[in-house]
Structure 1
């Protein structure tokens, strides 16, 4: 008779009782009773030994919160030695004018790290520093990804860089005239300062002007220095997000489709927005009430307010021809803005009257602005038919002047070509008079 097949499920399969009995026979009863106690002791020892490791494991519920905010502004003795710029392409593809300005930053600050973000790596930077592995702000990442306006992204990016890492930011067309080490005067302790900015426009008598008012008092944001985690930078980013959302809603479009004019850019993300955020943070820190532009009007030397160093207009905005901005040859001028990268107004135009043009052409000259205002008021007093005739008259005059200028240029060019074709006249050569022969002298 063959033996039955013993599968694991067969009732004839051997059970563990035999092995258990063997174990009991070989191990004394007292020792068997102590085994659970020994195991418990080993577990306690392992637990105590690894408490520091277990304590260092972050709670997933609080991880994003911890990453999503700086506990405080960096209070290291010195600002980060980093210089940041942003442009369309990487340095190896720069045109000569970008090479010349960018090189001044590395030449005058050899101990600083220079980094530039481009249209090809800016999104990667934002995702790295504001994504799940960084500050964990998906709202900021999503907003930046959806914005299409180049100037809005450029403004946003500088604020986001400064909040995440800090250092010096400068537009690509800004030339460095002095080492960054001279930005903070010796009378101040660097540890007591967390943001360095300068005045750009100081023309408060235009504050009620319908076009110039919002731009008449502002800090410069084409060049500044910040510690990482500064509340001004985060306030700017969050203010811009809220503003863009409101604009998109009012226009009935998405953020990527919003249309903005020049003044909307200035007030929404540019110098006016920058100034508003700075004054709000100053006021929140102040114990003596709100901080207004009066504190910085006509300053001829730097001052510190709420740990923010504000330099005079000559420091970052010299040579503008307004706001008593001085010139770039002075010792106080730290940078020079060349404006060769400032072509964004072509996509976000200023208000331009069909006859009198842009009031910004006055460059804050009060007589010019008053004349422009008077001309606009006189034009607005006309009937629609009269306005139309005045515009046609102006357009015809412009066409005539353009034709005359073109004709003059063509005549000048033709004259220059004619001068090249006709060889220059040789000077008339008069033959030298021959001396009389000896025989002639004898006859005389």
Structure 2
């Protein structure tokens, strides 16, 4: 049946029988209004109902409408990115002209030593911006570049960084975050620039083809199976490197550190800020080993995508010149890590040496100790010398076979030898310093005017000068006494091992050998700093089962011989 509403005039249009206009009250409205009002009312009612529902739901369930944390989503999203530069054409042809360092204080409060080293970067690179992040500004930087609302938008990283208390862990995290956020050159505070940054990329390479510049630090693959040295015998240097901003491999390093440290905290049942770490854990978790693993993984990802063969350490072993792997330029060991005394690293006078690491800021191993045998100390003191390491291994293995009484006797003898040598060195040093001070004082007195010529102000000035001189002598005595202690520790601790049941004079079978300007690098090996070491005399080895150890530090519980 055709239904039409009552209308006195005008055109009619079909309406639903359910329309309110079919009611007697609205049936007399004009046709034009009757055609429009129902549709508008229906729309208004629907919209109003939805708005009321949303307002009502927000008031009752506010937590359900809050923004969910983005960390998990962002992290999943990040893990799906490639670790190389996604679009080379979108990047500038040159690296950012920025040089970054981090330290306890700002450059205006550096001591003279740090100022002299830092100045080498600014004088050799006048076109670069130089910036130091300190213990007071690092968190502000991390919040600005990684906090909520920043381009990276990773508040979970900010929270993690804030929770970490270990200085060396924060230092490693910070360098990776700086390089991801802004790029440029990162150098440890005790690294001296020998050449301008422009020399980092050899002329035969196009800068546009390079995303990252790194150098070999340790190249001793023959120790890959050693229980202590194996995990750090092949590594890239991370006390100096250069990269473009936004390389996901840097962010991947940060995420790796977060997962690693949170895992250790769970095992130790402690908060992240209270985790206890030894030397090797730091090296493998955040330091050169972690850095090397992440970079190698990126190289192999790119190699697989390009159909190239797998990248192994053989590509970097004993190389004489730099090599470009994907978009990562690897420099030979001489460039960033010269003068180590191992890995065929040459010396800092070499033409190719770009930086010099002084190691005076590398004292973090004192808070994260290496493995130290109670008699034979740390194998790292062998500085990758194959004969020394073999001797250390043999000594430690033979020591395990001795009875507890024999072990105690050897430990007591070594302790006695150590203390005797230390006391003798102290006495000798004190005697030399006293003699030197007296001679200087006499020379000062000879230059004083005669008694009849003295003036009151001259007497006061002379007295003040002598007091200052005496204070300077005392300070110098204290300094040289400290040096003597370190030398005595190094010398006495490296005395040869003694066969059970035999007597051997202290020091027999060894002669002192001075390795010029040596120290200890981040991987625990001896570096340039001026520390005497011991070398065995050929043919003077004591009988088995113990042989002369080329590097045996102080017994357990005694002051350490070397610190990084």
**TM-score above 0.5, yes or no:** yes
Cα displacement (A) at 1:413:
4.1
Determine helix, strand or coil for the equivalent of 1:220.
Answer: strand
CA deviations 1:120-155 (Å, max 9, x no partner) are 010000011111121111221111000000000000
Q: How does 1:255-404 map to 2 (within 5 A)?
A: 255-286=272-303, 287-404=307-424
Cα displacement (A) at 1:291:
1.4
1:103 aligns with 2:123: no
Residues 1:75 and 1:352: Cα distance change in structure 2 (over 3 Å): same
Cα displacement (A) at 1:341:
0.7
Cα displacement (A) at 1:338:
0.8
Q: How does 1:224-239 map to 2 (within 5 A)?
A: 224-239=241-256
Cα displacement (A) at 1:359:
1.1
Q: Give the distance between the partners of 1:406 and 1:61, measured in 2 at CA.
A: 65
Cα displacement (A) at 1:403:
2.1
Residues 1:399 and 1:326: Cα distance change in structure 2 (over 3 Å): same
Match for residue 177 of structure 1 among 183, 187, 194: 194
Determine helix, strand or coil for the equivalent of 1:78.
Answer: coil
Cα displacement (A) at 1:92:
0.3
1:86 aligns with 2:102: yes
Residues 1:412 and 1:103: Cα distance change in structure 2 (over 3 Å): closer
1:242 matched residue in structure 2: 259
Cα displacement (A) at 1:398:
1.4
The answer to whether the 8 A contact 2:74-2:154 is kept is no
The answer to whether the 8 A contact 1:102-1:175 is kept is yes
2:544 matched residue in structure 1: none
Determine helix, strand or coil for the equivalent of 1:348.
Answer: coil
1:30 matched residue in structure 2: none
Q: How does 1:122-201 map to 2 (within 5 A)?
A: 122-134=138-150, 135-201=152-218
TM-score (structure 1 length as normaliser): 0.78
Residues 1:386 and 1:79: Cα distance change in structure 2 (over 3 Å): same
Q: Give the distance between the partners of 1:344 and 1:77, measured in 2 at CA.
A: 37
Q: Give the distance between the partners of 1:200 and 1:420, measured in 2 at CA.
A: 46
Cα displacement (A) at 1:289:
3.6
Q: How many residues align?
A: 368
- Of residues 287-296 and 123-132 in structure 1, the stretch that sits farther from structure 2 once superposed is 287-296
- Of residues 327-336 and 67-76 in structure 1, the stretch that sits farther from structure 2 once superposed is 67-76
Cα displacement (A) at 1:288:
2.2
> Which of structures 1 and 2 has the bigger CA Rg?
1
Cα displacement (A) at 1:272:
0.4
Structure 1, unmatched stretches of 5+, are 1-59, 424-444
2:222 matched residue in structure 1: 205
Q: Give the distance between the partners of 1:86 and 1:344, measured in 2 at CA.
A: 14
Structure 2, unmatched stretches of 5+, are 1-66, 444-564
Cα displacement (A) at 1:242:
0.6
Determine helix, strand or coil for the equivalent of 2:238.
Answer: coil
Residues 1:413 and 1:302: Cα distance change in structure 2 (over 3 Å): closer
Cα displacement (A) at 1:421:
7.8
Cα displacement (A) at 1:187:
1.3
Cα displacement (A) at 1:410:
3.5
CA deviations 1:297-325 (Å, max 9, x no partner) are 01100000011000000000011111011
CA deviations 1:378-405 (Å, max 9, x no partner) are 1111123322222122112212222222
Q: Give the distance between the partners of 1:407 and 1:254, measured in 2 at CA.
A: 48
Report the aligned-residue RMSD. Answer: 2.6
Q: Give the distance between the partners of 2:178 and 2:391, measured in 1 at CA.
A: 43
Q: Give the distance between the partners of 1:367 and 1:253, measured in 2 at CA.
A: 41
Residues 1:206 and 1:63: Cα distance change in structure 2 (over 3 Å): closer
Q: Give the distance between the partners of 1:225 and 1:244, measured in 2 at CA.
A: 26
Cα displacement (A) at 1:178:
1.0
CA deviations 1:176-212 (Å, max 9, x no partner) are 1111111111111111110000000001111111111
Residues 1:61 and 1:289: Cα distance change in structure 2 (over 3 Å): farther
Determine helix, strand or coil for the equivalent of 1:221.
Answer: strand
TM-score (structure 2 length as normaliser): 0.62
The answer to whether the 8 A contact 1:232-1:278 is kept is yes
The answer to whether the 8 A contact 1:72-1:229 is kept is no
Q: Give the distance between the partners of 1:325 and 1:161, measured in 2 at CA.
A: 28
Residues 1:421 and 1:339: Cα distance change in structure 2 (over 3 Å): closer
The answer to whether the 8 A contact 2:213-2:241 is kept is yes
Q: Give the distance between the partners of 1:247 and 1:174, measured in 2 at CA.
A: 31
Q: Give the distance between the partners of 1:293 and 1:421, measured in 2 at CA.
A: 60
Q: Give the distance between the partners of 1:300 and 1:197, measured in 2 at CA.
A: 15
Cα displacement (A) at 1:294:
1.0
Determine helix, strand or coil for the equivalent of 1:132.
Answer: coil
Q: Give the distance between the partners of 1:421 and 1:101, measured in 2 at CA.
A: 35
- Of residues 408-417 and 309-318 in structure 1, the stretch that sits farther from structure 2 once superposed is 408-417
Q: Give the distance between the partners of 2:161 and 2:201, measured in 1 at CA.
A: 33
2:425 matched residue in structure 1: 405
Determine helix, strand or coil for the equivalent of 1:86.
Answer: strand
